[in-house]
Amino acid sequence: MDAEEARQLVRATNFVTWRAQAGWDPVLVERAEGSTFWDSSGRAYLDMASQLIATNLGHGNAAVIQAIVDQARQLAYAGPSFATHARADLSRALNEVVPGDLHHYFFSTSGTEANEAALKIARMTTGRPKVLSRRRSYHGSTAASISVTGDFRRQPVDGLDTVPGTVFAPDCYCYRCPFGLTYPSCNVACAAQVEDQIRHEGNVAAMIVEPIVGTNGVIVPVPEYLPMIREITRRHGVLLIADEVMTGWGRTGEWFAVDHYGVVPDILTTAKGISGGYVPLGLTATSGAIRATFEDRYFAHGHTYEAHPLILAPAVAAIAEYRRLGLLQKSKTDGQYLLHRLREMAERHPSVGDVRGLGLFAAVELVRDRATKEPFNTPEDKLAGRRTVVEEVQRAMMADGVYAFAWVSHLILAPPLIITREELDRGIDALDRGLTIADAQVRSGSSG
C-alpha cells in the first residue's frame, strides 16, 4: 500500500496511548539514521526526544542491528526455563555496570513489566502489602504499576484496574515546593516526610522512585534527597526500588541516575536505553539478599517472553557501544552545554518558568505568569482532550523540522546521546522560535 493508505489504516484501526482517539493524525515514519528520522514525504526531523526517551544510541546503530540479525539466525526463541548464551552474555555485561550487588536479573519486555515484577518481588519478599510512591510519578500502565503512578493517568482506571495499598509522598520539586519552603533552609522536608509516612502507615513493603522524575518534568532532586531516602528506607526495613526506565543508560551522564548520588537501591528497574530502544527489553535487577529469599520459596512470576534471546543479544551490543562511543562522558559535557543554552534562551521568553535537567535530559516548564508560577495547562486539560500551549509549541517545532516531547505544561529535550553540537543548536533554535507562541499568551505584566 502507498504511504497515505498505510497512515490512514493505522489511524483507523490502532489504539494510540494516553489520549482520546479522535484527532490523532500521525506522521508516518519511513526511516531513521543518527539523530534524524524521515516521514513518508521525505521530510527530515531532528529527533530531540529520542522518540520516547529510548533511542539513546541514535537510529541505525550497525553493531546493535547486526546483533539482532546474528541472534535471529542462531536462536530466535527459547523458553525462560532454558539457559542461552545471550542470557549469559548479558548477565555478565550487566554485572559490570549495574550498581552495588544488584546482580540478579529478571528480563521482561518493557519498563511497565519491569516495575510490575519489582512490586511483586518486594511484596513477596517482605510479606507486606503497601508501597510508598510519589505524587508526580509514572511507573507504567499495568495493574500494579499504574497503582503506584502518581500522575493523572491513574485516575481513569483508579478502582477499576488498580491494586490497593499505595501511599503517595511529596516530591522533591524545588520550583513548586509542596511545603512552600526554600532549599537549603527547608532541611529537605520532602525526604523527612517519608519517614513520618512509613511510621504512620505500617506494613510498607517498598518505596518506588524515579531518581530523576521523567515524564512529569525532569525534576532533579537536591543532592541530599536520595541518600536521605535510602537511609530512611533502610532504617525501617523498607525496600527501595529505583525506576531507571528513562534515566538509565547514560541519559544523565552516568550508567544510572542513582550513581550521581552514591545510592544503591534494593531493586533497580530499567528498559528503553538498555537496547538503545531497538528491541523491547525490560530489566528488574535485585540484590543478592532478595534473590536468597526465593532459593527455597516459590517465585510466583513469569512471562512467555522472559529472557527472550532475540532481545537480550542486542543489549550486549548496546552496552559495548555506550563504552566504545564514550557516551556517558559525552552526555555529561553536552548536557552542560544544553542547559547553558536553554537557560540563556529562557531569559528572552517570559513564558519560561523553569529550566532544569541533568545530562542530556532537560525540561523547559512553561507558565502563564512567572510571578505566581501559574501553568498554561493542567492535567485536567489533558484528560479532557483540550489543546495545550506546549502542544502548540511542539507543533511549531515539528513544522520547523524538530521533534520534542510535550507534556501538560513542559517540554522535554532528551536527544540521542550521539547528537552533534550543531544538531543541538538547531534543536534549541527551533524551540527558541516556537516559544513565541507561548510568549504571546503570557499574562500581561508577568514577564519579570
CA distance linking residue 185 with residue 393, whole number of Å: 36
Say yes or no: 136 and 44 in one domain: no
DSSP annotation of 170: P
Phi and psi at 230, nearest 5°, equal -60, -45
Domain annotation covers residue 93: yes
The whole-number pLDDT of residue 186 equals 98
- Mark which of 324, 340, 358 sits at the end of a domain: 324
Q: For residue 372, give the C-alpha cell.
A: 505566581
- Shared-domain flag, residues 303 and 340: no
pLDDT, tens digit, 9 for 90 and up, residues 33-52: 999 999 999 999 999 999 99
User: Is 295 in the same domain as 192?
Assistant: yes
294 & 201 share domain = yes
Confidence class for position 166, pLDDT limits 50, 70, 90: very high
Q: Could you tell me the CATH number of the domain that includes residue 352?
A: 3.90.1150.10
Instruction: Check residue 175 and report its DSSP letter.
Output: G
Whether 102 maps to a domain, the answer reads: yes
Whether 47 and 66 share a structural domain: no
- Give 222-281 as a DSSP string: PTTHHHHHHHHHHHTT-EEEEE-TTTTTTTTSSSSGGGGGT---SEEEE-GGGGTTSS--
* pLDDT at 224 exceeding the cut of 70: yes
Q: Taking 90 as the threshold, does the pLDDT of residue 446 lie above it?
A: no
CB 204 within 8 A of CB 128: yes
| 445 within some domain | no
**126 SS3 class:** helix
Same domain, 50 and 76: no
Query: Can you state the percent helix, strand and coil of the chain, rounding each to 5?
Result: 40, 15, 45
Helix (H, G, I), strand (E, B), or coil: what is residue 58?
coil
The end-to-end CA distance of the chain, in Å, is 54
pLDDT band for position 443 (50/70/90)? confident
Same domain, 165 and 105: yes
Selection from 167, 189, 194 nearest residue 178 by Cα: 189
The Cα–Cα gap between 12 and 416 comes to 31
Rounded to a whole number of angstroms, the CA Rg of the chain reads 22
Cα separation of 382 and 380, whole Å?
A: 5
What total number of domains does the chain contain?
A: 2
pLDDT of 111 > 60? The answer is yes
Cα–Cα dist 283/274, whole Å:
8
Residues 6+ apart with CB under 8 A from 349: 432, 435, 436, 438, 439
As a whole number, mean pLDDT of residues 310-319 equals: 98
Please report which confidence band the pLDDT of residue 444 belongs to, taking 50, 70 and 90 as the band edges. Answer: confident
Q: Going by C-beta distance under 8 Å and a sequence separation of 6 or more, which residues neighbour residue 109?
A: 280, 281, 282, 303, 305, 308, 311
CATH, residue 97: 3.40.640.10
The count of residues in the chain is: 448
Q: Which of 273-282, 307-316, 380-389 is the least confident region?
A: 380-389
Q: Which pLDDT belongs to residue 431?
A: 98
Q: Angle at CA 261, nearest 5°, toward 258 and 262? A: 85
What average pLDDT score do residues 120-142 get? 98
Average pLDDT score over residue span 57-68: 98
Cis peptide before 80 (omega within 30 of 0): no
- Do 315 and 362 reside in the same domain of the chain? no
> CA dist 112 to 109, 119, 268, 281, 307, Å?
8, 11, 13, 11, 16
State which of 278, 305, 324 marks the end of a domain.
324
Say if 448 falls within a structural domain: no
Q: Cα separation of 207 and 430, whole Å?
A: 39
- Look up the pTM and report it: 0.97
CA distance 380 to 376: 12
Q: Give the percent of the chain with pLDDT over 70.
A: 99
Hey, what's the cell of 290?
532478595
Distance separating alpha carbons of residues 192 and 106, to the nearest angstrom: 32
Do 240 and 120 have their domain in common? Answer: yes
**Predicted pLDDT at 143:** 96
Residue 77 is assigned to a structural domain of this protein: yes
What's the mean pLDDT in 337-361?
98
For 131-166, give one letter per residue: b (16+ CB within 10 A) or e: bbbbebbbbbbbebbbbbbbbbbbeeeeeeebbebb
What is the spatial distance between Cα 321 and Cα 60, in angstroms, rounded to a whole number? 12
CB 112 within 8 Å of CB 141: yes
Residue 111 lies in a domain: yes
369-428 pLDDT per residue, tens = 999 999 999 999 999 999 999 999 999 999 999 999 999 999 999 999 999 999 999 999
Query: Exposed, middle or buried: residue 118 (CB in 10 Å: 0-12, 13-18, 19+)?
Result: buried
Range of the domain at 172: 62-324
Its sign, for the CA torsion 330, 349, 374, 371, is positive
Does the pLDDT at position 174 exceed 90?
yes
Among the candidates 324, 346, 364, a domain finishes at: 324
Q: Tell me, what's the pLDDT at 448? A: 53
Across 111-155, where does the E strand assignment appear? 130-134
> Does residue 269 share a domain with residue 220?
yes
* Average confidence (pLDDT) over 66-76: 98
- 317 plus 189 within the same structural domain: yes
* Residues 345 and 413 placed together within one structural domain of the fold: yes
pLDDT of residue 250: 98
User: Does 126 fall in a domain?
Assistant: yes
Q: What is the mean pLDDT of residues 241-257?
A: 98
Residue at 446 is within a domain: no
